[in-house]
Amino acid sequence: MDPARVFSAAAVDLAQAFDGLPVAIALNTLEAEPRVVFLNEQFVRLFGYTLADIPTVPDWAVRAYPDEAYRREAFRTWDAAVARARRERGRVESMELRVVCKDGAVRDVVIGAAVVADHLLVTFTDVTERRRAEAALATARAELERTAYEITENIPVGTYTMVLPPGGGMGRFEFLSDRFLELCGLDREEARSDPFKAFACVHPDDYDAWVAKNAEVFANKLPFYGECRVVADGVVRWISAESRPRDLPDGSTVWEGVLIDITRQKTAEADLAEALEREVAREREQRQRLERKLKTSLTASAVAHEIHDPLSTILLQASLGHVNPDSARQALATVAEEARRAVKTIEKMKVLLRSVQTAHETVDLGDVVRSSLLQIVGPLAERKIAVEQLGFDEPALIHGDATQLQLAITNALRNAIEAIASTNATEGRIVVRLDHRRKSIVLSIGDSGPGWSGAERDTTPFSTTKPSGSGIGLYVIRAALRNHGGKLAFKRSPLGGAELRLKFPRAAAD
């Protein structure tokens, strides 16, 4: 279209001035279907299009941006910027686009615009050469970096670069320093031509894990750090490798890393660990020896004490019977009673010494308690002692030895009966309760006897409050609790007497 039809005389002079500018300029209307009304000479020289080629903005769009997706994205941004400029009577923010010229050449162009009355004045600045210069600069920088890598030949640690192609696949070594090759016993050309040659030096016990770790790093483009053993010329060394990924302009990824000989450090660590292990074993053996001595001493002392009393009585009564024949019958009865007491103590010690760790199975603690109660039906009836059972409505499953548990619980019940009998009461009460907790089962045995303070129960192995008791029954209970991972507590019973609480870990129900 002739500019004279669009502009006034002054405007024609302005259009002629635009023709002389070294910047490509276009003028189009702001109608619903925008028309291109002016193109300066630089525009035609730059892109090759004339008004006959692009009479409307849509014609320009199809020719300049033949890729539909690219065109749609470009004009989405452009149209939004033009709309803002029209509202504000201002300028359209510059943006860089790739324009296809009439001859098929592609140019990088910075496009800006300004709203002038009912028209849009658009400028096009060609930056193609600038972009080429930037690409050349990037190439030069890469070359400089490559030179810097070569300098690392003189560093006392091994250095390397591993490159992963843009499309993935097998990585390759671009650079391997002399120290790297020396540590791994590798040939440079073989390692560069076949990356797996570099893994051949890895110790057989570390090989699979080392290859898997490298594969994961390459697949996910992760920083790398690892330690392994390598075998070079028959010598085993420990090495550490560390590198970080970096994306290159061509889409490939490079890992630049170092390889360090850490054999001396690993040897020192192993020596230290071995020394610490020996020291721990020595301390453990010493502690166990002291514990065995202490346990043997306590047990022997307790047994000697328990047997000493009845034997002393036997000797005394025997002497009295010898001196005074008239009291021989009474002395003989006392001797027999004390002998039975000594035998009973020895039998309890035999039971105690058999109370060792056994193969546990899932048992119902409620069933064990009921079996124990059956064993003492006679003593309960004789003393007119009523037993109340609480919490036996559901299974109380634990892992344990039913026989050993029954022995301990029977001892606890007999202790309760003897405690009630010591009060000379005509009748008594025992409450046996099972508390079902989330992780444990608690068995409580409380009586209406005289009770106890409880403090001595936590420290004295064979303590007892009964005049003729040995205290071994309580020791049996403790041993059973220890063998079942349980805990023993001494409380005051709501009935006024003593209460034993036996806490066991709960077993999962099948």
Compute the distance between CA of residue 200 and CA of residue 299 in angstroms, rounded to an integer: 64
Q: Name the token pair of 74.
A: 């470009």
What is the DSSP annotation of 251-281? S-EEEEEEEEE-HHHHHHHHHHHHHHHHHHH
Burial class (CB in 10 A: 0-12, 13-18, 19+), 89: exposed
How many Å from the N-terminal Cα to the C-terminal Cα in the chain? 94
Fold match flag (3-126 vs 356-505)? no
CB 385 within 8 A of CB 429: yes
Residues 6+ apart with CB under 8 A from 484: 360, 398, 399, 400, 401, 404, 405, 504, 505
Torsion region of 93: left, alpha or beta (phi above 0 gives left; psi -120 to 50 gives alpha): beta
Three-state secondary structure call for residue 469: coil
Task: Find which of 225-229, 272-276, 300-304, 449-453 is predicted with most confidence, using mean pLDDT.
Answer: 225-229
Interval 1-16: pLDDT, tens: 444 344 444 445 566 7
Q: What's the pTM value of the predicted model, to 2 decimals?
A: 0.35
Domain ranges of the chain: 3-126, 145-261, 271-338, 356-505
Q: Name the token pair of 437.
A: 């907790």
Position 10, amino acid: A
Burial of 144-157, coded b for 16+ CB within 10 Å and e otherwise, reads eeeeebeebeeeeb
Interval 473-485: pLDDT, tens: 677 788 888 888 8
Three-state secondary structure call for residue 195: helix
CB 118 within 8 A of CB 27: no
pLDDT of residue 48: 95
Residues 6+ apart with CB under 8 A from 94: 110, 111, 112
Q: Name the token pair of 115.
A: 């709203």
pLDDT of residue 172: 82
pLDDT of residue 309: 54
CB 229 within 8 A of CB 236: yes
Interval 133-174: pLDDT, tens: 888 888 888 887 776 656 655 667 888 888 888 877 777 888
Nearest by Cα to 184 from 157, 154, 161, 216:
157
**How, if at all, do strands 385-390 and 428-436 pair?**
parallel
Average of per-residue pLDDT across 93-99: 92
Q: Name the token pair of 306.
A: 């328990």
Average of per-residue pLDDT across 468-496: 80
CATH of 3-126, one of 3.30.450.20, 3.40.50.720, 3.30.200.20, 3.40.50.2300: 3.30.450.20
Three-state secondary structure call for residue 372: helix
Compute the distance between CA of residue 404 and CA of residue 480 in angstroms, rounded to an integer: 7
Strand partners, 363: 398
pLDDT of residue 8: 46
Strand partners, 355: none
pLDDT of residue 387: 93
- For 145-261, give the CATH class: alpha beta
Nearest by Cα to 410 from 459, 457, 363, 375:
375
Q: Name the token pair of 325.
A: 């024949």
Residues 6+ apart with CB under 8 A from 473: 348, 411, 412, 414, 415
Minimum mean pLDDT range among 46-50, 258-262, 473-477: 473-477
- According to CATH, the topology of domain 356-505 is Heat Shock Protein 90 (3.30.565)
Quickly state the pLDDT bin for 455 (edges 50, 70, 90).
very low
Tell me the C-alpha to C-alpha distance, in Å, between residue 412 and each of 344, 369, 490: 17, 11, 12
Kindly report the average pLDDT of the chain as a whole number: 81
Nearest by Cα to 403 from 434, 443, 442, 371:
371
